[in-house]
Amino acid sequence: MREREFGRLAGTVYLDHAGATLFPQSQLTSFTNDLMENVYGNPHSQNISSKLTHDTVEHVRYRFREDHGQLNGQVHNDEHQGQRTTGRILEHFHTSTEDYSVIFTAGSTAALKLVAEAFPWVSPGPESNGSRFCYLTDSHTSVVGMRKVTTAMNVTSIPVRPEDVCAAETRGTAASDPDCQLPHLFCYPAQSNFSGTRYPLSWIGEVKAGRMCPVSVPGKWFVLLDAASYVSTSPLDLSVHQADFVPLSFYKIFGFPTGLGALLVNNRVAPLLRKTYFGGGTAAAYLAGEDFYIPRQSVAERFEDGTISFLDVIALKHGFDALERLTGGMENIKQHTFTLAQYTYTALCALRYPSGAPVVRIYSDSEFSSPEVQGPVINFNVLDHSGNIIGYSQVDKMASLYNIHVRTGCFCNTGACQRHLGISDEMVRRHLEAGHVCGDDVDLIDGHPTGSVRISFGYMSILEDAQAFLRFIIAMQLHQCDGQPLPQTTPGEVGAPSESEAQDAVPATVDRCSSSPQEDAPTDSGVSNDLPTTVAAVGLRPPLPMATRTQQTPSEKAAGVLDGGFGPRVITNLYLYPIKSCAAFEVTKWPIGSQGLLYDRSWMVVNHNGVCLSQKQEPRLCLIQPFIDLQQKIMVIKAKGMEPIVVPLEENGERTQICQSKVCADRVNTYNCGEKISSWLSRFFGHPCQLLKQSSNFQRSAKKRVKDQSAGSTATLSLVNEAQYLLINRPSVLELQQQLNASDANGKEELFPMKELISRFRANIITSGTSPFEEETWDEISVGSLRFQVLGPCHRCQMICINQQTGQRNQNVFQKLSESRARKVNFGVYLMHTSLDFSSPAFLSVGSQVLPVLKENTEHHELPASTKHQDVIF
């Protein structure tokens, strides 16, 4: 089934099903055929195609009894009193129209917003203290965000910790005044999207019956069960657990369609909901000239403003069909995904360094004993041998080298993140002041993690996915440890590098003596409960890919190995990269423009959707070689097996059509370089591509200000990621080269030639310095009359693992750099020119002397004591 329905996963380990699961091929094929064979019109019309749409949508929502072979598409609830009618959605949740109504929304977030705005809140007054909005701190951001609506109504919001609710359940705290009908709302997730913890569904009945109160206040409690994460892999029986509101998103269950969710509303609560705005399709009648409006009768028609996403609703039918056909139902999915999670959790717990220290720290409220208390989600951070946390961003970058897709950060659940990682409220504020925002890659601040790593399983996940992930963790952390080697994966296996990249495995150590509470874990699906043996038996050992073993020429060695005395600081090489992510164009002297080296990263290759391609997605970009001829004002592009093609350096203003593109979240004006180069690129890559150039009159402003910059002026950028220039220092490269060669298990003298290693870092300026990484202590540099401010280090991604001559990947470079630089993969520094006068031409040249100015309060072991803590010109 995996090969037939999810062939696109070949060679990929997808472990972010809690973020978005994947759709099967047959579901999409069936839906596409449906659209091609039928005409679906707007359901608010009365023609034949509209009637077909209406009936199909209501079939998904409510499947009514058939009358003379036709579906009764009317949705007025009073027409079906006494009938138990079900639809695909209600049937899936084991309920019927007798108890629930389905309101289609844009997703679970929109459903939560609807409840916040329509709930019958009572503001404080002379006769009462008003309603309470209570939510579990382990809630998604979209739940917590409801408090902004309640605050506007002067309704008190009360966050409650999971342990406090559990304590209330144990005490059996009852309502102080059972006759009081003041409405309160309690929200909690059936499953934490952070840790996978499953909270008792029994809370629903206990709270609604008044036998348990999240907060001891008089009134009537209603319950909103956030089921979005839970129902992706588990059945939910609403005939037993009758929550008042159940928001959900369908892509979490089916993978497709996205942007469609629903709010399941208990019919006993529906009459209490209040609505102010009314949109198309919700009115039985209204007047444009005066305040007269009569809503439609059914709750769905009242709250579905405008035309619903009817084609997406129709797609749900095919989603339900495929899910049942491929899996046999949600109970099977629950058992399958939990078994994979339990197996992976147990193996992770057993991983130890030779010292006995754990390799990972898992954040969980359970010991993965049962799917009733734990979903198929594992949240963790990786530790080094000293017990220090390795930032999630570094783990994510390493995982991508193995084509393993994980999720990192706080997962839109700050409350759970704070609780499990020990982050105080004050620390959150300090992290914000330090520049950290939700969703970025600032993973450690003062050594403390700002987030973690999450993996999650779906019904199409297989044992090999779990094993590939475990092999990756072992390769990442234990590859240097002495111990019993584990079996090697076969090239081409899931999560393993390609055959051309494979090389001999190196030993890894697994703790074979560790005892843990999971030793007696169930052995469903043939997974052994002898944990250490299991880890070894499955071959948790990825091969490290082979590097190109070309030998350095004598001249290359002379340029890199300078016998401890690196000589004066001079520019040894200059490179520009006319096409973003394509090969370098080396020069000895080159003009400077307002955005950096003239024509550096002025072009980019985009896919058929207009998305900029990089070597992360398309490593063969490095095989595209551009050459610029300034005199003829052309760029010649070459590639193996292709005829050279010429592209003009500047656009023809009369025929150029400007379009907007995006680079690093910035909108830039570009123009298409023509059909000829598009066809050339498409033939080379085997899929549609286009070449775009940044418009010459478009100014892309840099986010970071340069000191000494005049007020109101901003430095401008080409299509670069961060800054106008990137500089690397040869002694720094040499140190990394020596570390890589020393770790070569095969004893080869020269694993990485100096020139090849330099090319991986794709810098503009290469200097010969006096000591490794001294460039990180510089505040600015001068080259002749040109001054450049050092903006900071370049945080490296997995692109440095790509051999720029072959397009082959080698994880060693990233991993070794990560190890040697305290897990922060920094290499090279960003530069911006300051106070540049363009009244006369300016050039950078190989051989020019580089004069750095140290940062203030910088200590450097090469400096005499008398010069420390001062600005020093070398």
Which residue, chain included where needed, has tokens 């509303």?
265
- CB under 8 Å to 840, separation ≥6 — which residues? none
Please answer whether residues 744 and 546 qualify as being in contact, where contact means their C-beta atoms are separated by less than 8 angstroms: no
Residue 18 corresponds to which tokens in the numbers above? 């809690």
Residue 604 corresponds to which tokens in the numbers above? 């980019």
Please answer whether residues 815 and 809 qualify as being in contact, where contact means their C-beta atoms are separated by less than 8 angstroms: no
Transcribe 184-236 into DSSP letters. EEEEEESB-TTT-BB--THHHHHHHTTS--SS--SSEEEEEEE-TTGGGTS--
| Exposure letters 859-873 (e unless 16+ CB within 10 A, then b) | ebeebeeeeeeeeee
Between CA 280 and CA 289, with CA 283 as vertex, the angle to 5 degrees is: 90
Which residue, chain included where needed, has tokens 């003379």?
68
- CB under 8 Å to 231, separation ≥6 — which residues? 93, 190, 248, 252, 253, 330
Transcribe 94-146 into DSSP letters. T--TTTEEEEEESSHHHHHHHHHHHS-----BTTB---EEEEESS--HHHHTH
Can you tell me the distance from the alpha carbon of 733 to that of 749, in angstroms, rounded to the nearest whole number? 17
Can you tell me the distance from the alpha carbon of 254 to that of 88, in angstroms, rounded to the nearest whole number? 13
3-state SS of the chain: helix, strand, coil percent to 5? Answer: 30, 25, 50
Nearest to 203, CA basis, from 169, 171, 177, 161:
169
Residue 257, preceding bond cis, omega within 30 degrees? yes
Q: How far is CA 848 from CA 240, 368, 831, in A?
A: 78, 63, 16
Q: How many CB atoms lie within 10 A of CB 563?
A: 5
Please answer whether residues 620 and 610 qualify as being in contact, where contact means their C-beta atoms are separated by less than 8 angstroms: no
Q: Which strands sit side by side in the sheet containing 132-136, from one edge to the other?
A: 100-105, 261-266, 245-249, 220-226, 183-189, 132-136, 156-160
134 is catalytic: no
Three-state secondary-structure class, residue 330: helix
Distance of CA 805 to the CA centre of its chain: 30
Distance of CA 568 to the CA centre of its chain: 44
Choosing from 213, 412, 417, 612, the catalytic residue is: 412
Three-state secondary-structure class, residue 86: strand
649 secondary structure, DSSP code: S
Can you tell me the distance from the alpha carbon of 109 to that of 261, in angstroms, rounded to the nearest whole number? 9
Residue 276 corresponds to which tokens in the numbers above? 């102010």
Q: Are strands 689-694 and 156-160 parallel, antiparallel or unpaired?
A: unpaired
Three-state secondary-structure class, residue 178: coil
Can you tell me the distance from the alpha carbon of 226 to that of 318, in angstroms, rounded to the nearest whole number? 24
Half-sphere exposure of 298 (CA within 13 A, CB side): 24
Q: Give phi and psi for 144, each to the nearest 5.
A: -60, -35
Distance of CA 33 to the CA centre of its chain: 32
Can you tell me the distance from the alpha carbon of 874 to that of 870, in angstroms, rounded to the nearest whole number? 12
Nearest to 340, CA basis, from 253, 465, 255:
465
Burial zone of 26 (CB within 10 Å; 0-12 exposed, 13-18 middle, 19+ buried): middle
Burial zone of 200 (CB within 10 Å; 0-12 exposed, 13-18 middle, 19+ buried): middle
Q: How far is CA 679 from CA 659, 675, 868, in A?
A: 19, 6, 58
Which of the residues are catalytic? 412
